[in-house]
Amino acid sequence: MRGEIDLASTFSVCIPVVSLQKTLKFCDLFSLSRSALVGKDIEFSFIHSVIADVLQMSGRVAVATLLVFIGCCTNVILLELLVKAQPGCTNLITFAQFLFTALEGFVFTAKFGTKKSIVPLRHYVALVVMFFVVSVANNLALSYDISMPLHMIFKSGSLIATMLLGMLLLQRRYPLSKYIAVSMITVGIILCTYASVRDVPKQKDRVVRHNDSLHTQFIGVILLSLALLLSARMGIYQESLSARFGKHPRESLFYVHALPLPGFLLLSSDILHQAHLFHQSAPLEMGLLGSVPSAWMYLFLNVITQYVCIRSVYVLTTECSSLTVTLIITLRKFISLLLSIFYFQNPFTLLHWAGTFLVFLGTLLFTHIFDSLATLFTSKALKVE
């Protein structure tokens, strides 16, 4: 979510390993003989072992995985539509997202205020302030000539901030592979940022505009950097709360959205101005409902798809291993990036692609996905043998 909480780090549930007997039973459904599976053709057998895993996946997980791609990717598209159609509307978007999540939490988590919080409210104060600033800064950066692809790539640098603050505040030390991974992510983000700045028009008759755009983009990068650091600090604070009071992600999700709502009074003039502009947007015919300003409809769909995205990730983190969740989320981010590049025709040069490759490769390396996949594939191959 924007100001999203990394639920993937909250849960770690093991994936059940399918036995050879169950694998054979599933393969029988495909009219495959057992002799073909237990012989020398290990690669062929391994493929069907993986198929067996997929077939054993619960409907709840399968639906959640589908909704992660549909909800999260659609949410990114709608956000970019809004930002392009109504520049400067990010504060209104952030307020709408906070309000909807707070109302949903008030009904289903707080039970209309009758359920007392497990974590004392005073401990949420620091978390709420950081989450509010992170959410506003992340969305506000889009109003400062930060393209959606750069926005997504930059936010993938959260691992850098987390590792840096972990070393400074918690005196943690990491294996060499993580330092290499973070270096790759850092170089990737620098390449993408440089490529985006380099693409600003540089014709002589547009020097003033070029300088203004550089200054504007610089502010956007500062906002994203601030959001990265605060998000990492927020994660460390969440760890301390979890260690003391236990893990209560639904409760935390409600309070970090509900308690900051008065803070939007500071942005009320801008929010009201943007709401007025939304009323003036092109009408969208809704059949029996008549016409609705298109900007309001896009905002409504953006809020709904964000909620679908959050809830789907929450289901995955409670049902799947952190490896599976990380793979799904990383793939989702890559698809969102491609949609933004091709659907909105955002400029994306070879330098952008090189930076993107380093960021995603570094992310996968940091989370030990390659080691985990190698172990998983090896164990499955041995079981098939």
Given a cut of 50, is residue 293 above it in pLDDT? yes
pTM: 0.74
| Domain of residue 81, residue span | 7-384
Q: For residue 13, tell me if it sits in a domain.
A: yes
Query: How many domains does one find in the chain?
Result: 1
The string of pLDDT tens digits covering residues 154-197 is 887 877 888 888 899 888 888 888 889 889 988 988 888 888 77
Reduced to 3 states (helix: H, G, I; strand: E, B; else coil), residue 14 is: coil
Q: For residue 15, tell me if it sits in a domain.
A: yes
Give strand pairing partners of 291.
285
Confidence of residue 208 (pLDDT cuts 50, 70, 90): very low
**Whole-number pLDDT of residue 120:** 93
Calculate ∠ Cα 206-211-214, nearest 5°. 125
Residues 6+ apart with CB under 8 A from 316: 8, 61, 64, 65, 68, 324, 325, 328
Q: For residue 50, tell me if it sits in a domain.
A: yes
Q: For residue 1, tell me if it sits in a domain.
A: no
Of 89, 256, 221, nearest to 213 (Cα)? Answer: 221
**Whole-number pLDDT of residue 153:** 87
C-alpha atoms less than 13 angstroms from C-alpha of 293 in its C-beta half-sphere: 15
Instruction: Calculate Rg over the CA atoms of the chain.
Output: 23
What sign results for the dihedral spanned by CA atoms 17, 19, 22, 26? positive
How confident is the model over 296-300, as a mean pLDDT?
Answer: 95
Given a cut of 50, is residue 114 above it in pLDDT? yes
Q: Torsion angle of alpha carbons 74, 75, 77, 80, nearest 10°?
A: 170
Q: For residue 202, tell me if it sits in a domain.
A: yes
Q: For residue 2, tell me if it sits in a domain.
A: no
What sign results for the dihedral spanned by CA atoms 309, 314, 318, 323? positive
What is the rounded CA–CA span in Å between residue 103 and residue 113? 11
Tokens of 235: 């994660």
The string of pLDDT tens digits covering residues 344-370 is 888 888 888 998 899 888 888 887 777
